[in-house]
Structure 1
Amino acid sequence: MPNEDIKIFGGSTGKSFAQKMCDYLGIDLGKSEVFKFSDGNIFVKICETVRDHDVYLVQPIGLNPNDEFTEILFWMDAFKRASANSVTAIIPYFGYAKGDKKDEPRVSIRARVCAECIELAGADRILTMDLHSPQIQGFFKKPVDHLFALPILCEYVKSLNIENLVVVSPDVGFAKQARNFASNLQVQVAIGDKTRKSHDEKAKVLEIIGNVKGKNALIVDDFSISGGTLVDLANGLKERGAQRIFALVSHHMLSRSGAEKVENSPIELLISTDSVLNESIISNKTKIVSVAPLFAEAIVRIHNRESVSSLFDSAPHTVYKKSLD
C-alpha cells in the first residue's frame, strides 16, 4: 500500500475515477477546486500542500477534449509551482490519440502536439490505457506506462459463460488486438472489412472474413462514438447467421444518438470501462466495469519503483475481483 508521500487529485471530469482509486488504496482524495468562468476560462487550485510529495492527477481527455486537455496543462503547472516532488498525469482515455499520423497534406499530428505540451507543462510521467495506437508512447520523451483493459474485460466476459463464442474485429486495423482478446478467451477470430470515405464518424462494413454462422459473436473495439460501426457489424453478423451479439469497447465514448442506435440494434450487451465520465448515457444494454483498481495498483508499483508490466504477467486476482464488484 502507498505511504503518505502519495497524493491523488482529480480534475473536473476525473474526480470520480480518482475517488475510486483512493477508496481502493484506503487514502483520502486530494483537495482541489476547478472553476470555469462565463467566458470559458478555466481556473484550477490545489487546496492542500503538495511540497515534496509525489502527485498523481487524474483527468481523461474524453467528451470535452479541449477543456480537459487545457485543464491538464494548468494542473501540471500548478503542481510544479507548488514544489511537488513529481507529477504523474493519469489520463485513462487519451482522446487526441486518434491524431497519430500525417496521412494527408497540411494536417497536424495532434497526439504529438498534446504530448509535448503536457511534458512542457511539467508532467514527469504519464499513465494511460488502451491508446488508439501504441506507438503514441514514442511522442513522449518522459516515461509512459500503458495499461490494458483486456484482462479485466475478459474476466467479465468469462463470467457471462457464453458458449460457442467468436471474437469479431471491426476492421483489419484492430485485428491484432482482437486476436489478443480471442487468445485470452480461447476462441476464434473473425474480421470485418470496414471502409471510411471521409473524416466523419460514418464507416461502412462491407464484408466479414471468417465463419460466424451459428456462433455467438463478441465485437471488440477501442471506442465508438456514433455506434455506427458496431451496429452495422452486428447487422452484418445477423445476416450471416450469427446468434447472440455482444460488443466490447475499452472507452465508453458513445453519444446519445449512438446509444440509441445500440439500444435498437441486435446487440444484447455493450461492455466498457469507466475511463471516461459519460453519465448522460443510461441503458440496460450497457455494463460498465471499473478499471480504477488497475490504475491504483499501477501507481503503487510506480511509487515503489516496481515493474508495472507485472500487473499483466501475473495480475493479482483481487484487482479483477474488485473491478467486477
Structure 2
Amino acid sequence: MNEPKLIAGNANKPLANSIARRLTLHRGKMVKPVDARVERFNDQEIFVEVYENVRGEDMYILQPTSNPANDNLMELLIIADALKRSSAARITAVMPYFGYARQDRRAKARTPISAKLVANLISESGIDRVLTMDLHATQIQGFFDIPVDNLYAAPIFALDMLHQFKGRLDEVMVVSPDVGGVARARELAKRIGAPLSIVDKRREKAGEISEMTVIGDVRGKACIIVDDICDTAGTLCKAAEVLIEAGATEVHSYITHGVLSGPAVERISNSVMKSLVITDSIQPTDAVSACPNIRIVPTAPMFAQAILNTWNGTSVSSLFDMETLAPIYDGLYPAE
C-alpha cells in the first residue's frame, strides 16, 4: 500500500518538516517531503522540478497562500501541474492559510469575489481536494467543485486555554472583536464553559475604526479575544484598550492566522494585551518569533492526523473534538 507523500512549496517549510516528523511518528517509518526544487528564473517566473517518482502516489502539497500571496498561490498551482503531468494518483492541497478569503462577497459595486476566482484556479489546476484551517467564511467551501475539509483551531485553543487558565476559568470571558465573529467566539466559549461578550466596531473606511462599544459586562474578567485573522493588529489593540477601559482585569488574544503585516508586531509589543497566541499556519517572521508577548501553538499534529485520515479514508471531522485532539497533543498539554 502506497504511503502518503508530502511536497512543500517555499511558503512554510518548517511546518512541512514538522508534519513530516509527525507522520514518521505515526507510520513508524521515515517520512520526508519529496525531493524537489521550487525556484525562480531571473524574471521571477516559477520553475518546479520533482526529483522522485510520484506515479500513482497520493500527494499532499503543503503551501499556505500567505505573504507574498500571489507568488505562493502560483507556486501551489505550478507544483500541482507538475504532479498531475507526472501521473500522481491524487493531489491534495494542504493550505493551512487560504489567502484571498477576505474577498468572499461583493460588499460594494464593481468589486471582485477573489475567493471564488482562486477556488476556480485551484480546481482547474488538477488538485483533487483541499485541506485548510479556519476559512474566513465557511461558505467559501461552496466556491469549490472539489471536496474541501476545513479544520478548526478552536479545539487546539481550548486545550491551551484549559492549561493556561487552569484554576481560574471562572474569571475568563471570551470576546468577539466584531459582530461577524460571534459564531466563532461562541463555539470556543462553549468548549471551555465561559461567558461571551462582543466588541461592536464601526469603520469609516478599511483599516480605520471610528467607534467601539463593549456589549456585555466585562468588569473583573480576564478577557480572551478570539478571531481568525490578525493583519495590522489595529482592531485587536484598540479592542484590548476598550475592554480594559470597561473594567477587564487583563486581555489575551487567540488568533488563528497571524498575518501580522506592517506595524503589527510593534503595536502588539506596546499594547495593553498580556499575550497574543497564534498558530504556525503562516511561517512567523523573525520579529514575530522574537516578540515576548506573542506565543505560537503548533498545528502540525492536527494536520498530520488529517492527512493520515484523508489517505486511509477515515473521518476528518473527528478532529473537531477536543477528546480526539487531546491525545495528539499529549505532552504539550499534559492531563493534570
* TM-score interval for Structure 1 and Structure 2 normalised by the shorter chain: over 0.9
Q: Which residue identity lines up with residue 184 of structure 1 in the other structure? A: R
CA distance in 2 between counterparts of 1:316 and 1:224 reads: 24
Shift of 1:197: 2.4
Segments of structure 1 that go 5 or more residues without pairing to the other structure are none
Residues 160 and 271 of structure 1: is their aligned pair in 2 closer, same or farther, counting only changes over 3 Å?
same
Cα drift, residue 204 of structure 1: 4.2
Task: Give 1:181-200 correspondences, 5 Å limit.
Answer: 181-198=188-205, 200=206
Deviations 1:146-196 (A, max 9, x none): 100111111111111262010110011001110111111111011011122
Code of the aligned partner of 1:193: D
**Structure 2 match to 1:65:** 69
1:151-162 to structure 2, matched below 5 A, reads: 151-161=155-165
Which residue of structure 2 aligns with residue 284 of structure 1?
292
Taking structure 1 as the reference length, the TM-score comes to 0.95
Q: Counterpart of 2:270?
A: 264
**Change beyond 3 A, Cα 1:228–1:235:** same
- C-alpha separation in 2, matches of 1:312 and 1:18: 21
Structure-2 separation of matches of 1:204 and 1:81: 52
| Match among 102, 105, 126 for residue 101 of structure 1 | 105
User: CA offset at residue 134 of structure 1?
Assistant: 0.1
Whether the aligned pair in 2 keeps the contact of 1:34 and 1:44 (CA below 8 Å) is: yes
In the alignment, the residues of structure 2 paired with residue 186 and residue 98 of structure 1 have an alpha-carbon distance, to the nearest angstrom, of: 30
Cα distance in 1 between the residues matched to 2:220 and 2:284: 34
Does residue 1:318 correspond to 2:327, yes or no? yes
For 2:262 and 2:162, the matched residues in 1 are separated by 28
Contact 1:270/1:287 (CA < 8 Å) preserved in 2?
Answer: yes
The structure-2 alpha-carbon separation of the partners of 1:97 and 1:135, relative to structure 1 and needing over 3 Å to count, comes to same
1:9 is aligned to 7
Matched position secondary structure for 1:267: coil
Pick closer, same or farther for the CA change 1:44–1:324 going to 2, 3 Å: farther
TM-aligned CA deviation for residue 324 of structure 1:
5.5
Deviation at 1:316, TM superposition (A): 4.0
> 1-side partners of 2:140 and 2:200: how far apart?
25
User: Per the alignment, in what secondary structure is the counterpart of residue 48 of structure 1?
Assistant: coil
Deviations 1:82-125 (A, max 9, x none): 10000000000002111100121111100000000011011000
Change (3 A) 1:232 1:131: same
Q: Report the equivalent of 2:301.
A: 293
Indicate yes or no: 2:234 matched with 1:228.
Answer: yes
Root mean square deviation of aligned Cα: 1.5
1:200-219 map, 5 Å = 200-219=206-225
Q: CA 1:277/1:324 → structure 2, altered by over 3 Å: closer, same or farther? A: farther
Give the whole-Å Cα distance in 2 for the aligned partners of 1:324 and 1:278: 22
Alignment of 1:166 onto 2:166: no
Contact kept? 1:290, 1:323, Cα under 8 Å: no
Deviation at 1:212, TM superposition (A): 0.4
Percent identical pairs in the alignment equals 38
Kindly indicate whether the alpha-carbon contact (under 8 Å) linking 2:156 and 2:325 is maintained by their aligned counterparts in 1: no
- 8 Å contact kept, 1:171–1:194: yes
Q: Is the 8 A contact 1:33 1:46 kept in 2?
A: yes
In structure 2, how many angstroms separate the alpha carbons of the residues matched to 1:38 and 1:309?
Answer: 44
Asked if the contact 1:289/1:324 (under 8 Å) is kept, the reply is no
Q: Equivalent residue of 2:204, what SS?
A: coil
Counterpart in the other structure of 2:43:
39
- Say if 2:202 and 2:211, in contact at 8 Å, map to a contact too: yes
The alpha-carbon distance between structure 1 residues 205 and 324, as it changes in their structure 2 partners (threshold 3 A), is farther
Checking the alignment, whether the CA contact within 8 Å between 1:292 and 1:323 is kept in structure 2 is: no
**Could you tell me how far apart the structure 2 residues matched to 1:196 and 1:126 are?**
33
Query: Could you give the per-residue CA deviations for residues 211-261 of structure 1, whole angstroms, max 9, x where no partner exists?
Result: 101111101111111111111011001111110110110011112511111
Q: Deviation of residue 205 (structure 1)? A: 4.5
User: Are 2:108 and 1:86 equivalent residues in the alignment?
Assistant: no
Q: Offset at 1:323?
A: 5.9
What does residue 22 of structure 2 align with?
A: 24
What is the CA–CA distance in structure 2 between the aligned matches of 1:272 and 1:324, rounded to whole Å? Answer: 16
In 1, Cα distance between the equivalents of 2:33 and 2:332?
19
1:259 to 1:324, Cα distance in 2 relative to 1, 3 A: farther
**TM-score, normalised relative to structure 2:** 0.92
Contact 2:203 2:211 in 1 (8 A): no
SS in 2 for 1:95: coil
